[in-house]
Amino acid sequence: MNEIKQRVIQFFQKAGIVITDIEKDKIEVADFGLNDFENTGLTLLTYVNTQRCCAKEMVLFPNQTCPEHIHPPVCGQEGKEETFRCRWGRVYLFIEGEETSTRAVNPPRGEYTVFHQIELNPGDQYTLIPNTKHWFKAGDEGAVISEFSTKSRDESDIFTDKRIKR
Amino acid sequence: MNEIKQRVIQFFQKAGIVITDIEKDKIEVADFGLNDFENTGLTLLTYVNTQRCCAKEMVLFPNQTCPEHIHPPVCGQEGKEETFRCRWGRVYLFIEGEETSTRAVNPPRGEYTVFHQIELNPGDQYTLIPNTKHWFKAGDEGAVISEFSTKSRDESDIFTDKRIKR
């Protein structure tokens, strides 16, 4: 676990992102219960998550995938709206819509149903409307991605692959 | 104007922040109508600003101040909530509360009424609850600051100094 966090800190350094020592301890490692972290996993640091808005820094290691999910409405409130901004490396975001016939990457083992590809390089960003299926996979070097969103309730996310638990 | 934007781009580079060519054109320069930009001014790039949330990158040049204001309730919605995260340089944030007797900086000419100092160095952040008076001033090197917030309505901000227009 400590080894993974050290690797995350190195990625933040590559992206020029400074975090405090207290924040280093708050880095979250998600393997989505699949026990295949190198292929399906995500690491993140939540800067702020109030009732109204949220900001995170996320790292995907090379060719690692955050698996397909949606953010449904919760407690009568619209689902989470989120903007992904690539800070370093490259990430391929897949959303609902026409399948990209020449997609650059394939998903890992598991259930994936949306294949409209959006390539994000440093400085590129994309805003997802609520309740849209999506998944994302890093390129060969990995990726550092900022997320700006409404309140995050990771425990409410619905994954296409029913084996997954957050 | 172009010279100011070039300077902003250099500050983003120092902070390791990559922006696209289209974004370079979208950098906003605010002098708050005071015509004293070196002392009272702010430059910013808005990444996203929807009905629900907003993210910006801001630059303060050395010893430059964003003047005192509040974000009041608008259209029956609570005022803007915002988190400032220092990415590079140093910024002194002043909010309501006990006056800091040994404050590091003084405001420029104009009306200032709150003097509780919070010093933010790279990796430090502070979340402001809505409807709180605040102003902020960069240290000697300037500062690059990320802002994560609810919807931004700059035109609704109420400045203490009534000469100010956004």
Evaluate if residue A166 carries a pLDDT over 90.
no
- In this complex, do B83 and A20 lie within 8 Å of one another by their Cβ atoms? no
Distance CA B82, CA B62 (A): 23
At A159, the pLDDT band (50, 70, 90 cuts) reads very high
The 10s digit of each residue's pLDDT in B47-102 is: 999 999 999 999 999 999 999 999 999 988 899 999 999 999 999 999 999 999 99
The 10s digit of each residue's pLDDT in A134-156 is: 999 999 999 999 999 999 998 89
Mean pLDDT of the A1-10 span: 94
The 10s digit of each residue's pLDDT in B91-138 is: 999 999 999 999 999 999 999 999 999 999 999 999 999 999 999 999
Q: At A127, is the secondary structure helix, strand, or coil? A: strand
Helix boundaries (H) for chain A: 2-14, 21-25
Instruction: Look at residue B152 in the predicted model and tell me its pLDDT.
Output: 95
Partner residue facing B148 (CB), from A18, A23, A55: A55
Q: Which residue has the tokens 């004293």?
A: B36
Partner residue facing B53 (CB), from A19, A47, A150: A150
- In this complex, do A148 and B124 lie within 8 Å of one another by their Cβ atoms? no
Q: Which two tokens stand for residue B162?
A: 């009534």
ipTM over cut 0.90:
yes
Q: Which two tokens stand for residue A30?
A: 């998600």
- In this complex, do B124 and A20 lie within 8 Å of one another by their Cβ atoms? yes
